[in-house]
């Protein structure tokens, strides 16, 4: 998977990059820094899930929603499953937003 150079979450643009050997002992193959505005993903881990997991953290932070790490993880997995199972609907939603 390729990462875009930035991911926009609300009004914030987060610079993105791959970084090997993030804190695996803490079970963290990705990290988002809200103040420095970056997302780092370990390329040796499940990149789609980890990326979505960090995006959900960004959404929760931006919209002031308190989620446990487990809730964040379940939502990330749910969003990925939804998008994979309903690609036409996802595209239609995006087209309607742009229109």
pLDDT for 18 beyond 70: yes
Asked if residues 69 and 29 have their Cβ atoms less than 8 Å apart, the reply is no
Average pLDDT of span 61-87? 97
Average pLDDT of span 60-75? 96
Q: Output the six-digit token pair for 24.
A: 């695996």
Strands 12-18 and 38-41: parallel
Q: Where are the domains of the chain?
A: 6-98
Burial 58-74 (b: 16+ CB within 10 A, else e): bbbbeeeeeeeeeebbe
3-class DSSP state of 9:
strand
- What is the pLDDT, as a whole number, of residue 23? 67
pLDDT for 19 beyond 60: yes
Asked if residues 19 and 7 have their Cβ atoms less than 8 Å apart, the reply is no
Q: How far apart are CA 5 and CA 9, in angstroms?
A: 13
Question: How high does pLDDT run on average in the chain?
Answer: 93
């Amino acid at each position: 998977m390729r990462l875009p150079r930035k991911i926009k979450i609300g009004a914030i643009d987060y610079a993105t990059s791959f970084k090997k050997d993030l804190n695996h002992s803490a079970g963290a193959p990705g990290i988002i820094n809200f103040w420095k505005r970056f997302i780092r993903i370990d390329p040796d881990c499940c990149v789609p899930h980890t990326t979505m997991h960090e995006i959900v953290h960004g959404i929760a932070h931006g919209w002031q929603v308190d989620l446990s790490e487990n809730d964040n993880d379940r939502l990330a997995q749910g969003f990925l499953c939804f998008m994979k199972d309903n690609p036409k609907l996802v595209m239609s939603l995006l087209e309607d937003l742009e229109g």
